[in-house]
Every structure is written in structure tokens, then in C-alpha cells.
Structure 1
Amino acid sequence: MVTLLLAFRLSPLLLLLLAGPAIVTAGDLDAAVPPDTEAAALLRLKATLSDPANALEAWSPSSPSAPCNDTHPWPRVQCYNGGLIGLRLSHLNLSGEFDFAALSRLPGLHSINLMRNNFSGPLPASLATVRSLRALYLSSNAFTGPVPGEVFHTMSWLKKLYLDNNDFSGVLPADAIAGAPRLLELHLDHNRIEGPVPSKLPATLRRFNVSYNHLSGVLPEAVAVRFNESAFAGNPGLCGAPGSDPGACAMAEFVLMSNVAGEFGLPELMKASAEVLGNGNLGSAYKAAMRNGVTVAVKRMRDMNRVGRVEFEEHLQMLGELRHPNVLSPVGYHYRKEEKLIVSEFMPRGSLLYVLHGDQSPERVVLDWPARLRIAVGVARGMAYLHEKLGIPAMRLIILVFVGSTVGF
């Protein structure tokens, strides 16, 4: 019987600070900054902001006093010994592209609080220029894009980073986070961050929260024992959190959609003897013979690291529901950010391409014209079914089937 081996390309899915008040221990201030330099920096910053409530109206070149004047300091600034050490700009309905570079010449600036404003878009690259920061509070804005590794690489004094309740996405910069030498608190909850939890976190880290994201994979044991399970809640694809079922990880990593090929799980699949069947545009195919006697075909997908779990699973569930004698549906799949496997029944006689052009053994199957006609009819029936159920244009089906060498029997 002719069977179409499903080949498809998923569309890639494109692609992080303390909730309390900004109280900073001043410590040793760096070289004193002239008051006019502080004023110039704040005025340059103000020029980039939208301030509908005029909360920063007193930040003016005509102000009679310096920002950290002992008797008449500017509003929303935090001072110590006459020098600027912090900005308290939370709850002001501010927006615009915050010009961190304007503050780069203030070596005593240790804290910036922008919580609960309307800032959006990716974090400005200029953030990395404020290397003196100890605390950065960006909670409850609308920042997007990935968490930039440069924050951890260049801001070596950073101790508290609040990025929660934004719209950050992508994968965490694991190496950069692990290398942060003084980080005490990292809050990334309520975003759209994907991928695994970093296996290495700074030894200094005391508070860590990645709850309510799109994290997946196995929670590293070394991380799980350091933090409360609430730090990882709200990540359906993440297994191994404190208090979870010890067997949940294997179930979460491998989904068996049909037992038509037999009962097995990821442990059995990983221990199976593997034989390479071929390599294609979408990845490599293997014959996996398990110890329980079950033999399946495994497709290891390539160039799909940007495909999210939701999109991947939606496609696989849809394909797993296909039922037709001329269509081979997947029976299971394994999803991790860095690896994706699709499992189907094993076709012992190989692909049509192999039978026609690759098998040179004395026992090879010779296809006469009546057999070739039956194969063509089977292919047509399978393609018609896919066209009807999936709505794929006929010409694209032809390309998928024949260029992908996906006819087996």
C-alpha cells in the first residue's frame, strides 16, 4: 500500500528589577559631578519623554537651584551628600524612548525607577551605558523583545533588576545572567519568555521569579532547590518544579498521540538502537528499534529553534488526527527549544525514491507498470485527502510529496 509520509515546514515563531520603592544605599560615591552636569543630563533626558501630567515641569533650565540643592531639590530625584544617586519616576504616565545615554556621565547614579509608566518597544541599547546602576525598576510597562545580555555584561554593579509585567519574549541570555557578579534579585515574571530555565544562576542571587511565561523543558535541579515553586508557576511546558510529579517531565517532553505503533515513551525511545534512513531539507530520519520490540521512524527536525511550543503542538495535533489508508500520520512528538522529534510508524520497505533509484541489492523490488500505476493512484488519493483536510494547494502538495521524497510503502 502506498503511503504519504507527511512533510511540512512550520512557520517560525518570532521572537528581562524590586517592586518596592527605590531605596539605595549610597556607599562610596564616585568623583563628584558638577551640579550643572546633573542638570544638563536631566534636561536632555526630559526632552525625550512625553509627560502628559507635567510631573517634571520643575526640571527647567530656568530653575533657580541645582537638582540636589539642600533646600530646594528638584522633584523626583534622590540625593546624597549633594550628589544625584537616584531617579524616582514611577506612576507618572511617562512614555517615549528613555534616553539612558543622557545619564551615562553621572557615575553616582545608582537607581532608576520607571515602574508603572507607558514605555514600550525594546529596551534602548543606551541602557548599557549607565554602568554605575545598582538597581533598575522597569516593572509594569510595555517593553518588548528579548532580554538584552548586554545589561548583565556591562552593568557589573547591578544588584536588583525588575522586568516583570512587560511583554518581553525570546530566550533568556543564560551565559550573561550566570556571569553577573553581584546580582541579588531578578524578576522576570508575567512576560512571554520562551525556552529553558538557565541551568546556572549567579551564586549571589537571592530572589528569582520567572513565573507566568512560556518557559519549557526540564527545570534544572540545582535551580529548583534554591527557590520556591511559586517562582516557576504558570509555565505549562516547564516540568520538574518543586512539588511536581517526578514522572511529569517525561510526559511533558514526549506526547504519544496514537498507540498504533505500540506503547512507548521518551526513555525507551532514547535507548533505542538507531539506524540512519536519510537526510533531507527538514532534518534527518532514523529507524529506532526499541527493546520492547517496537520499531518506529524518527524525524529530527533542523532549523526550527525559533518555532514556539504552541505552534509546533498545534500542527502536530492537527496532523495526528488525519486518518486515511494512504496517509501516514505522526504517532508522537518530542518538543524542546533546541530539539524537536516527530515519530511515525516505520515503513519497512522504505521510500518510493529508494525503491526506484537507491536499492541496488539483488533482492530489490522491481516495479512493473501495473504496480507503478497503483502507486500513482494511491498517491493521488492521499494528496486529495490532504488537500481536502488541510486546505493545502495542490501544487504545494506535489512539491512536498515528490521533492521531499515522502512516498513510502
Structure 2
Amino acid sequence: MSVRERPNAKYGDLQVKERVTQLLYCGIQSRLTVFERLALVLFLFLALDTFGVAGLNADGIALLEFKKSITSDAQSALQNWNYVDDTPCYWNGITCMKVQGVDRVVQIVLPRKSLGGTLSPYLGNLTYLAVVNLDTNNFTGQIPGELFKSPALSSLYLSDNNFSGAIPTAICALGDQLRVIELNGNRLAGGFPDDFLNCYGLRRLVLSYNNFKGPIPLGIGSKLTQLKRLDLSVNHFNGSIPEDFGNLTNLLPQFPLNLSNNRFSGAIPPSLANLGRVLIDLSNNNLSGPVPPDSYFQAQGPTSYIGNANLCGSPLKVDCASSPSPSLSPFDNIAGTSATGSFSKRPLSKAAIIGIGVGCAIVGLLMASILFYFILRKLHIRKKSLGLNSPARSDNASSLRGCLCSWRESGGGSMSADEDDENDLMHLSGVLSFSLEELLRASAYVLGKSGVGIIYKAVLDDGTMVAVRRLGEGGEQRQKEFESEVKTIAQVRHLNIVTLHSYSWRAEEKLLIYDYVSNGNLETALHSRSNASKGPLTWEMRLQIAIGAAQGLAHIHECSARKA
């Protein structure tokens, strides 16, 4: 499958058409016999065929109807979509392949192009259209049911737009042909379509961040058994969690079963333990009763269950035998809470309060100084081995694909839906939306090395800059633990902690995606080696940096949902 290159002709298509029209007009106006005129017409048609000017094919006409429905194209993504071409195969975002010797459109890939308008139903006329990717644009209105007339449609990516209304009832008329449906980040509403149960070939279903409501029907676990990812988070679904969700044993470990931020009620189905290594997120619902005692549920950690006021038991550390009072503070026992619930306050004297404050300040300053000393000593010892100031490092950029292990060695550059599921990035914060393939195409600069991996600055095609930490091998048995920890760390928010947005796991290599911080590294700042440096850091500034680092570490170890 490849994009067709436009052939080099001696004359442009438009020039040939104009010349043929002129000749035909002159022939009709001249004093030729009927036989001579017919001969001229035949000659001109043969000339058209010789130059390959047969007019835009049916796929191109359908795409131009799609273009007509576009009201905003700030990036001029569709500028080269024109009637004068005989094929759309070299238009921006279009991929074709030969079908019985004819070029047919098989992919429309135009994510993050600032396109606005509605989605044209004429896309359903593209008989061989397999992939539609219009992620992160400004499309509005409803998703047309005619889109699903295309018998080859297998992957639909419409995330992060402004689509509204209900999902078309014809969405699964293709049976097992449709493999990927990603509609997250829109304003879609209505109930969970029963028609989804007919998509028995579905591998990925992502409906998060919409306005869906109502119960989830039974049958997903028995009919959609090939699902590898299911994300229904941040909607208004209610009712109980279907018991047959425990049959979704093909879910991939890197994608949690995400049912968070809905209105599910009732008990947690014990059958979910059948999911094995797959994480679950049931936070911020109306679930009640004890967390099942099975080791699967206990290993999830409290972040999977928080926000359910009536849940109890480990790992929430809420005793199911008693009803905890929301007004009771963990510090009440220190104040002298009695067995009957009465307590007596013994206020501290003013001198004691001042003494405690001064003592805490001294201890904090001492700890920060010790930490700062060890940071300086460690950086000094490892300065040469790190090689952070090599000019070649900052000046030479390469593709991130060349820096990392070979994640996609298929050779042809295209992937099946299954491979894409297993190797794609898992986004945790909701801020980033690019795919692993886009990340691997990014320009890469080595920022630093350490004993646990290498950090790169990656610049994506659209200019987005991120920091990528590449970690080495990790045994398959550690995957569940790794993903649980990554999920917890991604929830940490602090001024002195760089936000973790995404990750990707494979046994031979792991990637962590952070915000890119452009102020350089500590070693450069301490020793004034940057060209833009304004001189060495003062001791006051160094102390502030040390205290800031200590505060960030303290927040991670003491204030996160699951202490490090």
C-alpha cells in the first residue's frame, strides 16, 4: 500500500483539457463536413486517452464532496485537493492502493489539521476506505450513518472534536469488519448503543469524555470477546457493572479497563478477577460494599477505588464493620479522643508553638543542606561518564526511531489493528494525544544519560516538544507492577515535579513521556557552562533549588495517593 506519485507529463492536465476544448470549438465553428467533424471528435477523444486526461475518478469526487463540507482549513491541509487531477492519490492525507489495476482510496489520515465543518456522508461512497483518522480537529454535528456503508471500514478515529448527538445505529452493520472505534473527547450523548454488540470483531472501543448515559447492556463480555481495550470513563453511565466484563480476557495490560468518573452503583463484580494482569479503574462512581478480597483486587491499589463513598475494605483501609464519620480527623486520637467519642482539648502554650516552629525550620534546613551536598558530590563524580556537555549531543538531531529499539519491524510501514494496540502509547493525563508512530518519527536530541536509561528531547511534526525517558529491559513478570506505579505517579501534581503524561511498555524497552522543561540541567547551571548563562548561581539560589527538590521528593513520598 503506497501513495501514488503524480506522473510527470509534458503538459499539465488542465492545459491539455483547455487545448482540446479549443480545437473542438474551432472544428464545430469551421466549414467542415459532417464526416470531417466526426473524425475530428474521434481524434480528440483519442488524444485525451493518450494524455491520460480522463477526469477525476469517483473516489476523488467523493473526497471533494467531503471538502465542500469543510468550513475552516487554517493549515491549508486540503489546498491541493482539486478537480483538475485524474486521481486523489497524491492529495494530502490520502493513501491509495491498486485494486484490479485501479487506484482506490483506502485511508484518510488528517489528525490535528485545524479542520472545521461537518463530516460528509459522501465518505460512505469510498468502497475500499479502511481507515478514517480525523482526530483533534473542530468537526461538529452528528456522525453520519452513511459513513458505515463502506464495506472495508475497519478503523475510525474521531477523538477530540465537537461531534454531538447519538451514535448512528448503523455503526456495526459491517459485523466483524470494524476493529477500532475511538470517539473520546466529543459531546456525544444518548445511551450505550445495543448495536455495538453486533461489532463482534471489535478490538478497541474508546468512548471516554462524552455525555453518554444509562446502563451498560449485558452481552459485551460474551459477544465482544476480542476487545483489547475498553474505556468508558468520564460519562454518565449508571446501573451495575456487567458481570460478564470478567470475560474480556483479551484486554491488553497496558490499557486499563477504565470505568472511572461515571455513576455505576452496586457491588464490584468478583468476576473481574479473571482479567489477570489488566488494571482496572473504578474510581469516582457510586459503588458500595466491600472490595473483593481476591488478590487481584488487593493488588490494584487504592487509586482504583477512591471516590466511592460507600466502598470499604482493603486496600482503602476503611473498616467495613464500622461506619466512619466524615468529620473525624486522623489527628483526633492525638487530641485525646475517648472510647465514647468525647475528647478534651489541651491547647499548646505560645512558647511551645514557637519552639516547635523553630525546631522544624532547623531540621528542614539541615536536611536540605545534606541533600544538596550529596547532589553536588554525585554530579561531580559522574560528570565525565555522563557526557552531558558534549557539543555533538546538542547539535545533531536524528529520528527518535533510530535512537530506540525497533518497535515496528514489519518493513512495510503499516500495521494491523492488533499490532497497533500492543505497541501504542498509553496516555494518562489527557493532555497529549499523539501515537507511538508519530513519536518515533520525531526529531530526537539526547539530553542526558544515567544508570537507568537515556533522556531525549523529542520534537513532533506539529512542533510539540516532550521529554522521553527510555528505560532498559524489564521482565514480563514486572509489567503489572510497573504500570500500577506509572499510573500512580501520573496523578502526582506539584510545582517541583515534572508531569508524567504517557508511557509505553515492551519487555525489552519502556518509554516514559514527560513535559519538556527548557531551562537546561542542574550541572550546567551550577558550573556556568551554558552560553546563555549569566554567571554562577549564588548560594541563596542553590539553597532554593535544593529545598525545591526536597519538597518535590517529600510530596512524592508522603502526599501521593500511594506513597512511594
More helix by share: 2
User: TM-score with structure 1 length normalisation?
Assistant: 0.47
User: TM-score with structure 2 length normalisation?
Assistant: 0.35
